[in-house]
Structure 1
Amino acid sequence: MDALRMVGGSGPVVPGRAALEVSPLSGRCGIRASGEICEVTRPSWERALTELSRCHEGVSYVELSQVAFVDVAGVTALAVTAMNLPDGRVVVEHPPPQLPRVLRLFWPDLDRIEVAPR
């Protein structure tokens, strides 16, 4: 997880362009994201989830309180990551409102993801 620092957020934020910054959580396996998770930032999001899965040991955390929007493909990447973990679960903290709705709609029985409300 040490290799994961910041993704997709270098340089100034340009109005009208999506930005995503991802950094590791200190003291526990997990990531903190801020910005938007959409078509433009999805490659960075998927790289961060890949790094998260590499450090996973039972429980991993994804802190999203500073994420304004996540599209269906971004939720899909999170769900697929959780399903491919060898064991345990992913705890998603403070997600934007569309994330739990998309999870309930497409993966109602996915017990590998626990969502802590915003």
Structure 2
Amino acid sequence: MDSRHVVGGAGPVVPGRAALEVSPLPSRCGIRARGEISEITRPSWERALTELSRHHEGVSCVELSEVAFVDVAGVTALAVTAMNLPGGKVVVKYPPPQLPRVLEMFWPGLERIEVTPR
């Protein structure tokens, strides 16, 4: 997990634009995302989640404090990744407000994901 995935052009990630940057967390198994998770950026998001699942060691962290928006399909990709892990869980830190609402709506009681709200 030593590579960055950038979609939507070079330069800084600006909320409201279709850009997503995903990088590994330096001190533990996990990823940090910046930008938006939408139809345009979903391939990059799904590649990052696939890579995360390959390196999963019981608890994986997904840090989303700089994600302005995540669509239902982006939350679905996260939920499916968590459900397909061999064990353990995914801790999602500081997601945009729609992520926990979508999880509760479509996957109530999903114990494989723990959300730390903003």
Q: TM-score range by the shorter chain?
A: over 0.9
Contact 1:90 1:112 (C-alpha < 8 Å) held by counterparts: yes
What TM-score comes out, normalization by structure 1 length?
A: 0.93
Q: Which range is displaced more, 28-37 or 14-23? A: 14-23
> CA separation in 1, counterparts of 2:45 and 2:26?
19
Instruction: Give structure 2 stretches of 5+ with no counterpart.
Output: none
Instruction: Give structure 1 stretches of 5+ with no counterpart.
Output: none
1:55 corresponds in structure 2 to 55
1:113 corresponds in structure 2 to 113
> CA separation in 1, counterparts of 2:61 and 2:8?
20
Aligned length: 117
1:12 deviates by 3.3
Alignment RMSD: 1.7
What TM-score comes out, normalization by structure 2 length?
A: 0.93
Task: Give CA-to-partner distance per residue, 1:43-100, whole Å, 9 cap, x none.
Answer: 0000000000000000000000000000000000000000000000000000000000
1:1-118 matched pairs, under 5 angstroms: 1-2=1-2, 4-8=3-7, 10-12=9-11, 17-118=17-118
